[in-house]
Chains A and B, each alone.
Chain A
Amino acid sequence: MLPEQPLVLIVEDDSQLMQYLTTTLRSHGFNVAEATTWEEGKSMALGLAPDVVLLDLGLPDGDGLSLARELRAVSRVPIIVVSARGREEDKVLALDMGADDYITKPFGSSELLARIRVALRHAADLTAPAATVVAVGSLRMDFASREVTLEHKPVRLTKNEFDLLAVLMRHAGQVITNRQLLQEVWGDTAKAHATYVRVYMRSLRKKLEADPTRPRLLLTELGIGYRLKPDLDED
């Protein structure tokens, strides 16, 4: 399902970081295209049709956020935003604007590869017909019968809990912002409040996690949203 040698477009102005990224990705079997400016990034993203875009938010000649928005307007290519710590607002903005995930500088290669794989898999899922059963690790969710099992034991969930978990399961491994969750589950972000998400996440964790303070499945990205821990061994 995944492309043989996926093409990763890196939009990054720092040459050392670029060198590290290209070396790492090439050694793991990726094709790499390098863009160092906003303009170059845009033309290459449109001209080369990469499988995934790695986008630095701090570009010398333009705002990375606006590039993410422009790309999302014309293409469904997965975009992973690269940003520094402490810029949570930027990350949320980028994610709400259509970026698929983010990664915080500095990052290790395993983290980077995991994010790219998740993004690629998610992009492949989009083209395939929607599955009725999704499994992440020992967690199984049947969308048709609305049944959830954990380690083959049924788990009783309320409607909201189910919907919340469903969004995270469909995007397993990807961060989902609070706003996206509200939009997906309650539909109306104006009325709902981010606290709703936390309230239901607490009850979900009680049902799914052995120790809610050391979650193994439902990870918190503070200030941004939630992520269901991906089960990458399946790949």
Chain B
Amino acid sequence: MLCRLAMDPPGSKPGGDDSAAAPARETRYMVPVDGRPDCAGLIRATCRMAEAGGAPWIGVHLDGPRPLMSSRDDERRLADNLRLAEELGADLIRLQPLTRNLARELLALARTHQVTHLVVGRGGPGWRTRLTGSLLEELVQGDLELVIHVVPARPSAEPPPPAPAPPEALDLVGLAIAIGFVVLATGVGFLVFHYLGLADVIMLYMLCITAAATQLGRWPTLAASVLSILTLDFCFIEPRYSFVLTDIQHTGTFAMMLGVGWVILGLAERIRAQTRLAQNQERHTRTLYRLGKVLAEGGSVAAIQQRVVPFLRQELDLPVALLLCDAKGQLPVPAGPGLRLEAEELEIARTVMARGVPVGHGTESYTQSPCLMLPMPGTERPLGVLGLWFTPGAGAMPASRLDLLIPLASQIALALERASLAEDRTIARIQAEHERLRNSLLSSISHDLRTPLGTITGATTTLLNPGPQSAPGDPKVLLGTILQESRRLLRMVNNLLDITKLESGLVQAKKEWAAVEEVVGSALSHLEEQLGSRPVSVELPEIWVPMDPVLMEQALINLLDNAIKFSPAGSAIEVRGWAEGGQFLLSVADAGPGLPPGEEELIFEKLYRGTGRPVTPGAGLGLAICKGIAQAHGGSITARTRPQGGAQIVIALPMDGISPELNPDYHS
């Protein structure tokens, strides 16, 4: 069934395999795609061969002018074949050929795309076979190292398209103009006949036929030709004013006139078709380009949907709807006020989803419906359908329109899929991060809570049940332990509640003009016991700062607590505040070892305990709380190791608004 015609390039070893002939070249198949019935079989055969070898393949359509005989069926088949090739995984190339020599064009393309295998059809019986035959010969004569596969014609089993194309409508204006041309030529002919001669009059009529052929179209040209011959015969050829022909040579003239008219008409039609094609393609390209720009803005699925629908509505001048599948791959039944699908439209949408081809207006099924639905294919499952509503009675949609709409829908699908994948990824990442944090929080909490509880329980049972050797001072030691552990437990529970509240956004800074020394003083008094006899130097300006005093006190307690924990007992702690650049900066510094380089940011992360430090129970939330409080104020927090040693943590709060100015002796 498959003829293989291996062409050995001159100079290569006879019988040499194609891989041996050109070891560096990767196998690549190419198949010409056109509107012939057997082309679909050709495409499938190429796909099979390419897939068997794991090679890429290219579908080429040489977008020449349609032959005069080309029908709407051909155009439709061409669109189908192109789509088929694309769906089967071909790289599609559409080209305007430079010459009419198909073989040369194909060979040139094969060279530029480094094709190793070309698949062509042998064609069926009839004149096309002869054409194909010559194509094959020319290809074989090409100098390219190319394996050519000839696949016998196998018209695909596609159903014959139902409705015959409607006949071209009679162009009455064109006919009138054609008649006008002939009348004009006759008038001028009468004026010049006496001075010049019959040949010039004939040329006049030729001019009028040429004008009709180039400007007016098929029927006006035919009318102009026939009318020209009749008037010429009647008015100028002897015997004049009768249709009788005495001289047989004039029949030749008439035939030439008809022939020239026909040839020029053919040329003109071809040019017109080419222009139309070029304009169409240009429009398609522009539309796709603009769509590309709209899609390139990115964003969420909803954002893309919101941009694309108005764009398409404007671009196509049709009502448009994007129906997207839900998470289960089911088409939702839209019931909003903007869009209501009729039962038939819903059925069309389901058919499109099931079959993956356009259905509705201008296609083979549901042709009578005003609605056309296009598939939006995704990599795993269809994403949904694109629906268009044509005005009823506006006539059939040209097949070229479908050529535009299908890639349009695919492009939108691609963008939507990308957006939805990105969304999925973000959600997954957030969930994973959430999960990780929750797990480490849980394990850390269970450890940090159980340890002091264990100590308390243990100490209490010893107190209730003292051993026979217990010293008289033991109870006091144990009671001290219980008290200390209870306080630790309390601090941890408080921290846990604080961070939870801060993270859930329940906490909002209730800013008021606060006296900084009041807040600092209150924080210091809370830590009196931990501070003991440590020297604390406080340096604060006498200013008013907008802050939530309760929250800031909490932050300060945590900062001071941190400084106490990470510096040697008895070493000094410095609290300083100053205004700078529209901010109030509050710093707590210790005389400890400072921060390991690179951890200045990390210490504000939840559950971060530092690498080079001894593991201190209860740590890990305090600084994260400070960060949350600074952020709740619209401020920030930074940490550094001071040049003179010791860690310094600075909270910066914005100082907006006007501080209170009161007459110190204000009397009501």
Contact = CB atoms under 8 A, between A and B. Distances in A.
Interface stretch (B9-17, B412-420, B510-518): B510-518
A198 B518 contact: yes
Given A86-B497, A220-B522, A223-B550, A203 B665 contact: no
A106 B490 contact: yes
Nearest to B518: A220
Contact of B660 (A186, A199, A214): A199
A143 interface: no
A153 interface: no
B165 interface: no
- How many interface residues does chain B have, given as a range? 20 to 34
Contacts of A205: 517
Interface in B172-225: none
B439 interface: no
A85 B497 CA distance: 10
A48 B518 CA distance: 42
Contacts of B524: 213-214
Contact of B517 (A86, A159, A196, A213): A213
B525 A219 contact: yes
A3 B66 CA distance: 116
With most chain A CB atoms within 10 A of its CB, the pick from B520, B550, B662 is: B662
A85 B517 contact: no
Nearest to A191: B668
A125 interface: no
B518 A201 contact: yes
A106 B486 contact: yes
A203 B664 contact: yes
Interface in A210-235: 211-215, 219-223
A226 B271 CA distance: 96
B158 interface: no
A160 B666 contact: yes
Contacts of A196: 662, 666
Contacts of B521: 212-215, 220
A222 B550 contact: yes
With most chain B CB atoms within 10 A of its CB, the pick from A106, A158, A219, A223 is: A223
A213 B668 contact: no
Contacts of B544: 195
B514 A198 contact: yes
A113 interface: no
B513 A188 contact: no
Contacts of A158: 664-665
B616 interface: no
B522 A222 contact: yes
Contacts of A188: 668
A86 B490 CA distance: 13
A201 B665 contact: no
A168 to B, nearest CB: 15
A194 B512 contact: yes
A88 interface: yes
Interface in A155-177: 158-160
A78 B133 CA distance: 115
B554 to A, nearest CB: 9
B515 A202 contact: yes
A2 interface: no
A166 B620 CA distance: 45
B93 interface: no
A189 B45 CA distance: 92
A187 B524 CA distance: 33
B352 interface: no
Contact of A88 (B486, B517, B519, B550): B550
B44 to A, nearest CB: 73
Contact of B513 (A187, A195, A203, A213): A195
Contacts of B549: 222-223
Interface in B504-548: 512-515, 517-522, 524-525, 538, 540, 542, 544
A155 to B, nearest CB: 15
Nearest to A209: B521
Interface of A: 85-86, 88, 106, 158-160, 186-188, 191-196, 198-199, 201-203, 205, 211-215, 219-223
19 contacts: A106-B486, A160-B666, A160-B667, A191-B668, A195-B513, A199-B664, A202-B518, A212-B521, A213-B517, A213-B521, A213-B524, A213-B540, A214-B525, A215-B521, A215-B525, A219-B525, A221-B522, A222-B518, A223-B550
